[in-house]
Amino acid sequence: MEDDDLIRDALRDYAYATPGTSRLDAVRRQATAARRRQRLVRLATAAVVTLVIGGVIAWIALARPPAAPPVNPTPSPSATPTPTPTPAAGYPEQSRASHGLPTGGLGDTVEGLTLIDVEITDAECPDATACPGLGTLTVENSTNEPISAFVYFNVFRNNTPAVSDAQRVQLAPGESATVTIDVQPALADSAPVGRTGSIYSWNFSVELA
């Protein structure tokens, strides 16, 4: 026990003999610098992580294969060209009457039937160019009475009536119907000239049944 006291005294004498050179202000400076370093390291780490994540996302986005284009069958040379739907605007509306019936264009009401939609599909004329083929007209009964009528699709070539064909409709008030009228055979017989050689126009007329 006496040795233990001796050791304690000797150690304390050694430990507390002289003042050191460390200073509290130096500790404070060092701690502040350490904090600043720590903050910079955190910022740098965050920046690196952000860049890496952004890079990975960009890489994944760029590496993704583009959507495969739809595979179209190769048309055989003998195949008939597929009719291409052409908006009615592709053909001007004709204001001339056809066979004495009242006529109109898109949005017009003739004999109580309003043309609410029209689509003209090109077909192949004998001269291997396109000319009007199918006329698809949607008409609506705008009256309060049922209507039974023939809806005519009239095609003009160079402002002259070329062909006209009709389908019958029976519509209750407010009801609509779509009729498809094929004018291509008659047109081909009468004038085998496509759109490149002539100006085609159209209108519709209604004959009450």
Partner 1 sequence: MGSDEGGPPEDFESWAQNHWHRLLGIARIVTGDPTLADDVLQDCLVDIYQRWDRISGEGSHPLAYAARIMGSKAANQRRTAWGRRVHVTDDAAILDASGGEETGSIDNRMIVAGALRNLSARQRQVVAMHYLLDMSVADIAAELDQPTGSVTSDLTRARQRLRTDLTGGGDLAHGG
Q: Which residues bind partner 1 (CB under 8 A)?
A: 3-4, 6-22, 24, 26-28, 30-31, 34-35
**Residue 51 C-beta: closest distance to partner 1, Å:** 29
The least distance separating partner 1 from the CB of residue 42, rounded to whole angstroms, comes to 14
Place of tokens 């952004």: 54
| In the complex, minimum distance from the CB of residue 20 to partner 1, in angstroms, rounded to a whole number | 4
| DSSP string for residues in 8-76 | HHHHHHHHTSS--S--HHHHHHHHHHHHHHHHHHHHHHHHHHHHHHHHHHHHHHHHSPPPPPPPPPPPP
CA 140, CA 161: separation in Å to the nearest integer?
25
Closest CA to 124 of 201, 200, 193, 202: 193
Which CB atom, from 33 or from 58, has the smaller least distance to partner 1? Answer: 33
> How far from chain centre, in Å, is Cα 75?
26
Shortest distance, CB of residue 31 to partner 1, whole angstroms? 4
**Is the CB of 25 or the CB of 145 nearer to partner 1?**
25
Identify which of residues 1 and 60 has a Cβ nearer to partner 1 in the complex.
Answer: 1
Report phi then psi at 159, rounded to 5.
65, 15
Between 8 and 99, CB nearer to partner 1? 8
Cβ distance to partner 1 smaller for residue 11 or 209: 11
Least distance in angstroms from the C-beta of 19 to partner 1: 8
* Nearer CB in complex with partner 1: 12/168: 12
Quick count: other Cβ atoms within 10 Å of Cβ 186? Answer: 14
Closest CB 66 distance from partner 1, rounded Å = 53
| CA gap 163, 173 in Å, rounded | 30
